Amino acid sequence: MTLRVNPEEGNGLSGKQAGGEVKVMKRIALILFFILLTASSVLGAGKDLEVRGKTLTSRKPPFVVTLPSDLQWIHSSSIEHPTESSLTRTDFLIRDQKKQIEEMLIVQIAAKTNPQAGPMVVPPLKPFSEKRMYSKGKIRKGETEIEYLIQLMAWNPDAPSLQPILKKGWTLSTHWAIQTQILFQPDLEQAVFLRYSKDTRSFGLKVSAEGGPWDKEALSGNERKVYEAFQRTVSGVMDSLRFENR
């Protein structure tokens, strides 16, 4: 939401007074804009998901995770799958530079809608390309098994799921992005799928736009530095993951 102030609107003031009043109004509008922007990032995610600074809190299912950046919540949607007796809620969070998306987190939470249905079946993670998958594994947090992988991918601005974001004025490059996928089931009735990706050019290093240097067998130089920095980020995210009400 953008608040607009029209300085040419008649207000019955003299020119000098009007100029001062407009400056005050602009300051108030700017303060209100940042208040509303903060509120949208905190409240816009809906009653089951909250984002405050770098902390993402899910109420259903209950978990908390520290985000790699100050990501802004921008969109959510829900899709019901009657044949699978489940509902999937998807939330999009981004960090941008002049409306160009540099980081994106997609949070998908699937929940059973029919308690009488069988246990939720969650397929294992699969990379887009084996030759550009850099790591894959599993860790345990208490009773919960967490599966993850790190890979190279290319954002697709034509993807139907991204259209609501692009229609709001953000742009998405087709350049290479490095991505992690994190999957876990807090219980037998819910599953959480996190996909965090970051433009490889946003690490402050000159990297290749070609695919060859990003193959895991050829990874070296700045491309390897990008992967290693991203791997540390992913480790921090998974270390921060906490399950509440256990």
| Cβ-contact 165, 75 below 8 angstroms | yes
- pLDDT of 43 reads 38
Residue 215 to residues 133, 207, 212, 221, 223: CA-CA distances in angstroms?
8, 13, 6, 12, 10
Please state whether 235 falls in left (phi above 0), alpha (psi between -120 and 50) or beta.
Answer: alpha
Closest CA to 21 of 34, 37, 10: 10
Name the residue with tokens 């433009």.
199
Quote the mean pLDDT of the chain. 83
Tokens 């290093």, located at residue: 205
Give me 113's structure tokens: 């809608």
Q: Provide the pLDDT for residue 47.
A: 66
- From CA 139, how far away is CA 195, in angstroms rounded? 17
CB count within 10 Å of CB 68 equals: 20
pTM score, whole prediction = 0.80
Question: pLDDT of 9-50, one tens digit each?
Answer: 333 323 333 344 334 333 433 333 333 333 333 434 556 899
Mean pLDDT of 148-163: 94
Element (H, E) at 138: strand 133-141
Rounded mean pLDDT, 211-225: 97
User: What CATH code would you report for 71-243?
Assistant: 3.40.1410
pLDDT for residue 121? 83
Strand locations in the chain, DSSP E? 49-52, 55-59, 62-66, 72-81, 86-97, 100-112, 133-141, 144-154, 176-187, 190-199, 242-243
Percent of the chain with pLDDT over 70: 80
Mean pLDDT computed over 210-221: 96
Q: Looking at residue 244, what is its pLDDT?
A: 76
Confidence of residue 245 (pLDDT cuts 50, 70, 90): low
Helix (H/G/I), strand (E/B), else coil: 213: helix
Cis upstream peptide for 61 (omega within 30°) = yes
Give pLDDT, residue 176: 96
Local confidence band at 223 (pLDDT 50, 70, 90 cut-offs): very high
170 within 8 A of 99, measured Cβ to Cβ: yes
CA distance 224 to 194: 23
Angle CA(215)–CA(106)–CA(163) in degrees, nearest 5? 95
Residue 246 confidence (pLDDT): 52
Beta partners for residue 178, in sequence order: 152, 198
Higher pLDDT: 3 or 11? It is: 11
CATH 3.40.1410 domain extents, the chain: 71-243
- Tell me the per-residue pLDDT of 95-140, one tens digit each, with 9 for 90 and over: 999 999 999 999 999 999 988 888 788 899 999 999 999 999 999 9
112-43-62 Cα angle (round to 5): 40
Model pLDDT, residue 34: 38
